[in-house]
A = this chain, B = another copy of it.
Amino acid sequence: MINFKELLKEHGIPPSLQRIKILEYLHNFKTHPTADMVYQALMDEIPTLSKTTVYNTLKTFTEKGILVALSIFENEVRYEYNTEPHIHFKCFKCGRIYDISKTFECLKNEEIEGHKVLEHHINLKGICKNCLVKAGA
């Protein structure tokens, strides 16, 4: 059981209710949500919640390294809890994003053609397991 209040403090972020709840959500639901999805999900629990707070908080968390921002979709940013390095698979049909645990040793080097690599994002796209079954039936 993670103490999110402590986790925020460790990252130099004063733990308000909104911040704790947003962090908790990102940690518990691995759905790579957009800012709006987080907002919708927490509206019931925090009726006064503002969308701006969600955007600001997600931005802060990302800057502090607690979350990672993904650019898998063309138009909207998605967030996930920063854990082990992994790659993403997006289904063209259902739109779901899957985490692929496989890592690539060949990307471990931190220098390529003279450039210093700080991040790498691998995004696969295609038809997911579920949609393949549906199409085959």
Residues in A lying within 8 Å of B, measured CB to CB? 69, 71-74, 77, 89, 91-92, 98, 100, 102, 104-107, 112-129, 132
Contacts and interface: CB of A to CB of B under 8 A. Distances in A.
A76 to B, nearest CB: 9
Interface of A is mostly: strand
B127 A115 contact: yes
24 contacts: A71-B72, A71-B123, A89-B115, A89-B117, A91-B115, A92-B118, A98-B113, A102-B112, A105-B106, A113-B129, A114-B128, A114-B132, A116-B127, A116-B128, A117-B126, A118-B125, A118-B126, A118-B127, A120-B122, A120-B124, A121-B123, A121-B125, A122-B123, A123-B123
